[in-house]
Amino acid sequence: MHLPGTVRPLLTRFSRLLSLIGIPLGLVGGFLAVVNPLYFAVAFVAIAVTVCFFTNFEITVITMLVFRSTLDIFSGLPAAFALGLDVLILAHITILFLTKQKIHIDKFWLIFAGWILAQGLWPVLTAVGGLGLGREYLGESIREWIRIFSWVLVYLAINQFKGRIHPERVITGLFLALILPLFVATLQLVFPAHALPTFLQAASDSVFESGSRINSTLGHPNTFVSFLILFIGLTYWKIRQGKNSLAWGALLLIEVFFLVSTKALVGFPMLFVLFFIMIIPQFRLRNLLGAVFVFVLLIALFASTEFGRERFATVLDTPLLNPNLTVNRAILLSWFDTNSFNWRLAQWTFLIEEWKQAPLLGYGLGLASYLGPIRAYAHNDYVRVLVEGGVIGILLFLIFHTLQFIHLGRLYFSSLDASKKQFCLCLIAIFCSFLVGMITENIWTHTAFFFYWWTLFSMANWDWSETDPNASHSV
């Protein structure tokens, strides 16, 4: 990296400053090591990451994103990670500004930042008691706003890679995020729960879920599903490029295998939407029949298990497919049976009734789980946004996602680079699949997924011919 002459003295002074504070940091570190070795380890990692962040920004950011997929099984770490990453990115951008270096910002980032800024209205209203719930929920609302604020900062940080690292190298580096989750998922499949540490044991969701479902390092089977859907899309994009197709094909089979092993029904429609959109440009009857065959095969594989048959039976015993079952009766039965679909119907009904009491602005960010008699996540992100943000919130949400779709579509049709064009189609497919997943799941709470989503989304707007993928910068 070649630095302007005016920047070198600043960096020199910064290095001297680090040297001056090295001694007190060492003393503090020694004290922490005596008091609690865990505190020392956390402090050591934080200092090391901070130093690396300012000396090798690109590699450090990618490394942090790679390890983000392993944090959800540790309580408190995801929030600390997001907060720490926010501070580091803001510090880096501040240094770029003070040293008069170029800060890369695109038009969609301005839209994204504007939407995030608009979301800040709800914590403010919660603070002044202007919403349906009281000020005692302000901490939860602020926590939710910081969570989504970290996404816009990740978008901004990745944008600073422009012209320095080719996007294909960044994407290839992100595949390292699969290693530990797939390894832990394998352990959960091979070993009984009691043979694993508590934090690695497969998830069990009260009366609805079997403990045999795997969640890997993502905290919940459905979170693992959205994570796999994203990487299945990227893997298929890699296969379409024609390089190392056999290896990428093997990885695709592994990813789909683990997707089925989560035993999450939502994974099937998401997977179908993903592949259907990705094969549209090369649409042939043979391709369609092949995709349908594979999809039916996966469903048959899932239905061959006792758990799968039970899940399909619960789908049949819903008002949608059982004309003898009314909505009111399904809601009543949801208190006594183990049908998670009827439970969802009841939850949506209760939350919509709550929304009617505060229709315009709702109850505040991240507060849907404090409403209604069930007091749980909405299991429908559209209902969640309606309840938390009211009519204004859901309109902003739908407009923001519509703009995402338009932006990706414009990039797809305007791209002359074949690899980038296929990548944009891949993002459109992933985007549509998680919109489908939002109908019955809490996709909006899948923080790790959105870290990777906004990383990829940021690079879609680059000119992929600016940097040679074989350049010296590597990941």
Higher pLDDT: 26 or 109? It is 109
Cα R_g (the chain), whole angstroms:
24
For residues 438 and 380, the answer to whether their CB atoms sit within 8 Å is yes
The reply to whether 221 falls in a domain is: yes
Give the count of beta carbons closer than 10 Å to the beta carbon of residue 180.
Answer: 15
The reply to whether 45 falls in a domain is: no
Residues 212-241: what's their mean pLDDT? 90
pLDDT surpassing 90 at residue 449: yes
pLDDT band at 437 (very low <50, low <70, confident <90, very high): very high
Range of the structural domain that residue 413 is part of: 106-204+212-282+358-460
**30: helix, coil or strand?**
helix
Q: Kindly report the CA angle at 184 between 433 and 211, in degrees rounded to 5?
A: 75
Residues 74-93: what's their mean pLDDT? 84
Closest CA to 224 of 195, 163, 182: 182
The reply to whether 469 falls in a domain is: no
**356: helix, coil or strand?**
coil
Higher pLDDT: 86 or 325? It is 86
For residues 148 and 437, the answer to whether their CB atoms sit within 8 Å is no
Tokens for 119? 């979301």
Per-residue pLDDT reduced to its tens digit, 313-362: 777 777 777 777 777 787 777 777 777 888 888 899 999 999 999 999 99
Closest CA to 49 of 32, 61, 66, 65: 61
pLDDT surpassing 80 at residue 30: no
**3-state SS of 249-285?**
HHHHHHHHHHHHHCCCCCHHHHHHHHHHHHCHHHCCH
Q: Is 105 left (phi over 0), alpha (psi -120 to 50) or beta?
A: beta
DSSP result, 223-257: HHHHHHHHHHHHHHHHHHTTSSHHHHHHHHHHHHH
pLDDT band at 78 (very low <50, low <70, confident <90, very high): confident
pLDDT band at 475 (very low <50, low <70, confident <90, very high): very low
Q: Distance of CA 78 to CAs 70, 81, 178, 238, Å?
A: 9, 5, 17, 29
Average pLDDT of the chain to the nearest whole number: 83
Tokens for 360? 């315009």
Q: Distance of CA 315 to CAs 27, 265, 329, 342, Å?
A: 61, 10, 15, 9
The reply to whether 123 falls in a domain is: yes
The reply to whether 234 falls in a domain is: yes
The reply to whether 4 falls in a domain is: no
pLDDT band at 271 (very low <50, low <70, confident <90, very high): very high
Q: What is the pTM of this model?
A: 0.86
The reply to whether 287 falls in a domain is: no
pLDDT surpassing 50 at residue 27: no
The reply to whether 334 falls in a domain is: no
Number of domains the chain contains: 1
In whole angstroms, give the CA distance from residue 419 to residue 80.
Answer: 36
- Per-residue pLDDT, 473: 44
pLDDT band at 21 (very low <50, low <70, confident <90, very high): very low
DSSP result, 360-406: TT-S-TT-GGGSTTT-S--S-HHHHHHHHHHHHHHHHHHHHHHHHHH
